[in-house]
Structure 1
Amino acid sequence: MANCQIVDQVYKCCKVGVIGAGAAGLATAKELIHEGHKVTVFEQAMQVGGLWVYDPEVDSDLLGVEPHRKRVHSSMYASLRTNLPREVMSFIDFPFLTQQGNDERCYPSHKEVVLYLEKFATEFDLLDVIQFGTSVEHVELVTTDSTSEKQWKVITTRRIDGVVDEVKEELFDAVVVCSGHYFEPKIANIPGINNWPGKQMHSHNYRLAQPFTNQCVVIIGTQPSGMDISRDVANVAKEVHISGRSWNSSINFAKPMGQHQNIWPHSTVIRTCEDGTVKFKEGSSTMADVIMHCTGYRYYYPFLDTKGLVTITDIVKPIYQHVFPPSLAPSLSFVGLPHKVLPFPLFQFQAKWVAMVLSGKVKLPPTSEMMESIKAFYDQCEASGKPMHQWHDLGDIEFKYLDWLADQSGSEHLESWRSKMKNIAFQHLFNNPDTYQDQWPDEDLHQEALLCLRKLEITR
């Protein structure tokens, strides 16, 4: 590794490959460059934004189970708006205010988010280090002949108008995986589904409501995406039936939900039948044209070859503090694995930590200590009955984790209004699912956030 002199002290200047130019990849590139590292970002699309970029194309297999299907990265649908206020989504040093485009709503559209990310990339001179139209095919740790040091071999394919233009192999001191985890569908296991005559799809491939006009649609999943899509579809569908395990005790399965009079709640699907019937646990049933799985995603990094040192299942493991696999740290890291979080601030704090560990300003614990910490965390999750697919879900410890990350890089903690705003936002979402994006309930808190961000905008 080359050396660079910073403030009378020698730090490492690494050649780092960053996979993905979505929000996580952009934040990572910014922090790595700030630390003096040499950065190359690989992005398969022709623009920044990652999953926030709307693509009308869908997978060739709408259910997402065919391994050799044509894959589309984005899961964005046309009507999507954020489920968090724009203020709380802001990067820690780049306010997400209302001057991005024409959408000034508190909960803006995906187009507004892309404009924000494009301005972030321009503001911090990131576009010059991004190789667009470039897919990462293989990442592997190798020993170089010239120095006998271990480096990461990255094989990429560049395409122009869908045609392969260049296949390239390059060596890096470190690789940061920032390619996200919202594109490889996970589906529900439903008895009888192989003989059910209707259409199945995953929400990853949902784009517009119009194809569901006058149809009966069963949506599996009551998380925000399932609830959001159900209301979009209900505007044109004959009936929408939402099946889930997480209803609160006050739910009445005999009455339609919310403002729409054609959305019906149900417990889990227990069976589908050859005549098109879908049966639910609480005893009801319906004839359905479509079953849409709004059932989440699997972690999926097919390009990454770690010789079994890292396994990708329901989670990425073993991994220290959701970022570093101990046996490959610090040369391999992940930014953006946790979910149900404030994504942009989390990406930036993780990226700052990675950048400073690579430069040598911050030291990781010994491998054995990191493994002990991971084991203790896994044991705690198992003892609490938390299913493995939720082990990257930070839940109530999110802000404690963000404070810990901030401490690692010597950064200030997030402003207190962010935790208050996120908690109110999710309570507001579940209490008012039909209207939450148009009516913010706490104007005093909103004004506090705006004042803070406007001060930051002036002083940065």
Structure 2
Amino acid sequence: MQASPNLLSSHHVAVIGAGAAGLVAARELHREGHKVVVFEKDDQVGGLWMYDPRVEPDPLGLDLTRPVVHSSLYESLRTNLPRETMGFMDYPFVTREGEGRDPRRFPGHREVLMYLQDYAREFGIEEMVRFGCEVVNVEMIDSGKWKVKSKRKRLDDNDRGDDFADHEDFDAVVVCVGHYTQPRIAEIPGINLWPGKQIHSHNYRIPEPFRDQIIILIGASASAADISVEIAGLAKEVHIARRSAVDDDTYEKKPGYDNIWLHSTIERACEDGTVIFRDGSVILADVILHCTGYKYGFPFLKTDGIVTVDDNRVGPLYKHVFPPILAPWLSFVGIPYWTFPFPTFEVQSKWIAGVLSGRIALPSQEDMVEDVKIYYSELEASGVPKNHTHNLAHSTNDYNMWLASQCQCSCFEEWRIEMSHEILKNWRARPNMYRDEWDDDHLILQAHEDFNRRISNKASNGHI
């Protein structure tokens, strides 16, 4: 089923989602000469960066028929990456003046949304977007094209909304729907009989509902750290259960806090409301808060089993982007995590756009399949579980540099790589203050010198 586009050919491409990944995919595809349609079910761009104070009726997100709230942002969220490495390489995330702008180096979520809106306006991407248009089915048809079925609301004179469907055929589809909406829940022996309340962080917005309660929080991510500290300001106690890099039996107070305790993993939950940890401690808790990540899901995508999601492994995908059998006509942007998301989306999109136009060649289908097999084997040999297939915590710079080499672009400057190491070092040294204190001012200076040079070069070439 694999085919190669004609040299420098232009294609009709559907991009699903107008979050950060969809916006940069649309821009790079358009720059490459493709005709682009972006499908977005909401009424504005931004994806998960659109804060929604609503929460779902099922606090764990287990009911697949529930009304879904797409965003997982909590009200106080700030980025855990600085502007210099968070923004698109071709559109620096610099501070801007104006009402509601956030000048901090690690800004709040509203500033990120405004940055994405600025990006969309700057490059005319909004004109490519069909807002209020949800994709419900994508499948390949006999002609080799992809049929995209979507639905949108149509309002009558009485202001009642009725869904109506539309179909359109495309040469290629780029999936950019993110993976921070469907919760993953920790498996805890005895939890079905435990009488307390459970919630996933997807449905956490503010700390007030946890006032004077005893909370057990499961997880060790950046959001888990933020939420635990925020809740501790109102809760009676917060007990954090996490897997440690060292298989120990931790039970201690978190340094600097009187009501936060660190534990090893949970052994079981009991019918009397207690939770027993592997370290032997027993806590009578009101709430278990799962900060345990998310599942990948593409319910609209029909590939006859060619692309599957198995224990959070989306595959097979060549370099986390192309299913070998369907390449280049189906691709994904934004599958890897523990990366620098926006720059990674950007260079993935450059690669996809260039491959579709014929400017960049993919390996043969057989070679891509073999590459995926080798990658899976290396993960297994290293003891990496299947559900960490797309975790690039230890290889994100190598991955981005490889993609950049495929696109023949020198967009990953040395300061970006150095700053990535400094960010991690600072987070470890100042886990509670890394967003407001740092020691890499020399790298910030290099970044802004580079940004100014890019802007100057674009202006001299007649476009920004």
Q: CA deviation at 1:396?
A: 2.4
Alpha-carbon distance in 1 for matches of 2:363, 2:25: 22
Query: Is the CA contact (8 Å cut-off) linking 1:21 and 1:50 kept in structure 2?
Result: yes
Query: Is the CA contact (8 Å cut-off) linking 2:137 and 2:302 kept in structure 1?
Result: yes
Alpha-carbon distance in 2 for matches of 1:248, 1:435: 25
Counterparts in 2 of 1:180-199, with a 5 A limit?
180-199=178-197
Alpha-carbon distance in 2 for matches of 1:250, 1:80: 31
Q: Deviations over 1:323-367 (max 9, x none)?
A: 000000110000010000001111010001100111111111111
Q: Deviations over 1:17-67 (max 9, x none)?
A: 001001000010000000111101011111111111101112221101111
Whether 2:69 is the aligned partner of 1:72: answer: yes
Equivalent residue for 2:372? Answer: 374
Query: Is the CA contact (8 Å cut-off) linking 2:178 and 2:334 kept in structure 1?
Result: yes
Query: Is the CA contact (8 Å cut-off) linking 1:157 and 1:164 kept in structure 2?
Result: no
Q: CA deviation at 1:243?
A: 0.3
Equivalent residue for 1:333? Answer: 331
Equivalent residue for 1:360? Answer: 358
Counterparts in 2 of 1:56-455, with a 5 A limit?
56-99=53-96, 101-143=100-142, 149-159=143-153, 163-246=161-244, 253-254=251-252, 256-313=253-310, 314-455=312-453
Equivalent residue for 1:32? Answer: 29
SS in structure 1 of the partner of residue 149 of structure 2: strand
Q: Deviations over 1:140-179 (max 9, x none)?
A: 1011xxxxx2111111111268933431111110000000
Alpha-carbon distance in 2 for matches of 1:15, 1:129: 12
SS in structure 1 of the partner of residue 136 of structure 2: strand
Query: Is the CA contact (8 Å cut-off) linking 2:250 and 2:264 kept in structure 1?
Result: no
Q: CA deviation at 1:78?
A: 0.3
Alpha-carbon distance in 2 for matches of 1:221, 1:430: 17
Query: Is the CA contact (8 Å cut-off) linking 2:89 and 2:411 kept in structure 1?
Result: no
Structure 1 vs Structure 2: percent identity of aligned residues?
48
Q: 1:99 to 1:450 in 2, by over 3 A?
A: same
RMSD: 1.7
Q: CA deviation at 1:450?
A: 2.3
Query: Is the CA contact (8 Å cut-off) linking 1:402 and 1:413 kept in structure 2?
Result: no
Q: CA deviation at 1:186?
A: 0.5
SS in structure 2 of the partner of residue 412 of structure 1: coil
Equivalent residue for 1:21? Answer: 18
Q: CA deviation at 1:262?
A: 1.0
Q: CA deviation at 1:407?
A: 1.4
Q: 1:370 to 1:66 in 2, by over 3 A?
A: same
Q: CA deviation at 1:11?
A: 2.2
Alpha-carbon distance in 2 for matches of 1:160, 1:259: 55
Query: Is the CA contact (8 Å cut-off) linking 1:182 and 1:297 kept in structure 2?
Result: yes
SS in structure 2 of the partner of residue 150 of structure 1: coil
Equivalent residue for 1:146? Answer: none
Q: CA deviation at 1:447?
A: 2.0
Q: 1:380 to 1:249 in 2, by over 3 A?
A: closer
SS in structure 2 of the partner of residue 13 of structure 1: coil
Q: CA deviation at 1:445?
A: 1.9
Within the candidate set 42, 46, 49, 2:46 is matched to 49
SS in structure 2 of the partner of residue 258 of structure 1: coil
Q: CA deviation at 1:454?
A: 2.9
Q: CA deviation at 1:10?
A: 5.4
TM-score, reference length from structure 1? 0.94
Gapped regions of structure 2 (runs ≥ 5): 1-5, 459-464
Alpha-carbon distance in 1 for matches of 2:45, 2:354: 24
Q: CA deviation at 1:192?
A: 0.8
SS in structure 2 of the partner of residue 376 of structure 1: helix
TM-score, reference length from structure 2? 0.93
Alpha-carbon distance in 1 for matches of 2:255, 2:303: 49
Alpha-carbon distance in 1 for matches of 2:7, 2:392: 36
Alpha-carbon distance in 2 for matches of 1:296, 1:403: 27
